[in-house]
């Protein structure tokens, strides 16, 4: 059966399905990062914010998995049955953060990357997909604000700034790889600047 917007049970386009899994799986791994790093927060408000970001990322993951389950996938398999090689998350999150600055850089890049991909579905013909994308955007806005607040604090210390810059130099190319080969991104940017 061919995919029909809003018609559960219809088969999804493979590229569309891969994009949804990339978003959901990255959100799953990011939620796990938040859960694991909660106690590394610098204050009680950090603990609350990190736990909130953890649960909203898990919620985004589950919403996408439920959507995929309505289109022929096994929900339990998506959530708990796949091995590491089957998870389509950003490799940005494959290695644990080395410190607080790396945690802030990595989570900011992961939130921004998933939002960049999800925002492409805001006007999707299937209202369920558009609704999930809208919800991701609404909640990601606050996650990015949290990171931006930490950017200001980190920027006040010389050592913290150096650690932040080192983490960014390592993590940013990994974030770009999620969107395709790095040379393609650079070549596109060069072509864009030429016009």
The residue extents of the domains of the chain are: 14-194
Q: Supply the pLDDT for residue 113.
A: 96
pLDDT at 4 over 70: no
Write down the residue that tokens 């022929």 correspond to.
Answer: 72
Per-residue pLDDT at 1 exceeds 50: no
Q: pTM for the whole thing?
A: 0.86
What would the pLDDT profile of 54-70 be if each residue is shown by its tens digit? 999 999 999 999 999 99
C-alpha dihedral sign at 158, 164, 169, 172 = negative
What is the reported pLDDT for 53?
A: 94
Tell me which CATH code domain 14-194 carries: 1.20.1260.10
Q: Which residue, among 79, 102, 83, 85, has the nearest Cα to 33 in the 3D structure?
A: 102
Determine whether 124 is exposed, middle or buried from the number of CB atoms within 10 Å of its CB (0-12, 13-18, 19+): middle
- Please give the mean pLDDT across all residues of the chain: 89
Structure tokens at 163: 């650690």
Residue 11 pLDDT level (bands cut at 50, 70, 90): confident
Q: Report pLDDT digits (tens) over 87-143.
A: 999 999 999 999 999 999 999 999 999 999 999 999 999 999 999 999 999 999 999
What average pLDDT does range 45-59 have in this prediction?
A: 93
Contact assessment for residue 60 and residue 24, using Cβ atoms and an 8 Å cutoff: yes
Closest CA to 162 of 66, 98, 93, 81: 98
Paired tokens of 181: 């080969």
């Amino acid at each position: 059966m061919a995919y029909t917007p809003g018609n559960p049970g219809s088969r999804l386009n493979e590229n569309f399905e891969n994009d949804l899994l990339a978003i959901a799986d990255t959100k799953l791994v990011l939620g796990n990062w938040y859960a694991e790093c909660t106690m590394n927060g610098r204050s009680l408000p950090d603990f609350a914010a990190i736990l909130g970001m953890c649960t909203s990322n898990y919620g985004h993951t589950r919403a996408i998995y439920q959507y995929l389950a309505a289109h022929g996938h096994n929900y339990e398999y998506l959530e708990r049955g796949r091995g590491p090689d089957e998870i389509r998350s950003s490799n940005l999150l494959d290695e644990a953060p080395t410190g607080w600055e790396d945690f802030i850089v990595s989570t900011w890049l992961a939130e921004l990357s998933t939002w960049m991909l999800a925002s492409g579905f805001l006007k999707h013909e299937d209202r369920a997909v558009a609704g999930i994308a809208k919800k991701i955007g609404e909640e990601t806005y606050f996650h990015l604000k949290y990171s931006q607040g930490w950017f200001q604090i980190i920027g006040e210390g010389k050592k913290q700034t150096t650690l932040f810059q080192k983490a960014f130099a390592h993590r940013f190319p990994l974030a770009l790889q999620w969107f395709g080969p790095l040379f393609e991104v650079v070549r596109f940017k060069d072509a864009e600047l030429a016009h």
